[in-house]
Amino acid sequence: MVKRMRRFDLNSARTYLGRNVNLHLKDGSVIINVLVTDAQPNNHNEGAILQYMAPTKKKTMKVSLGEVEWAERLDPYPLLWH
């Protein structure tokens, strides 16, 4: 049985708020280890925007949710499992 992947939309993006994730984009690139800070509808009614912050920068950046294929949640305690 093949599971069909759910579309990455505003509701699914909001589940990642305050979490560190890798964002996998539709063009095949990956934005690694970012903190999702906000997910909101676009003012121009063109979809939604995901705001994120890289750990080394204090500036927030934005990506359209239409460009995001899926998000991979990162384990906040990677050293405790070994």
User: How confident is the prediction for the chain on average, in pLDDT?
Assistant: 84
Return the closest-CA partner of residue 69 out of 13, 20, 18, 17.
Answer: 13
The proportion of the chain whose per-residue pLDDT surpasses 70, expressed as a percent, equals: 83
Q: Which residues on adjacent β-strands are paired with residue 25?
A: 68
3-state secondary structure of 25: strand
pLDDT of residue 78: 63
Determine whether domain 10-74 maps to CATH 3.60.10.10.
no
Among 5-19, 20-34, 51-65, where is mean pLDDT lowest? 5-19
CB-hemisphere CA count at 13 Å for 28? Answer: 0
Q: What is the mean pLDDT of residues 6-16?
A: 86
Q: Where are the domains of the chain?
A: 10-74
Q: Mind listing the pLDDT tens digit for each residue in 29-54?
A: 999 999 999 999 877 666 799 999 98
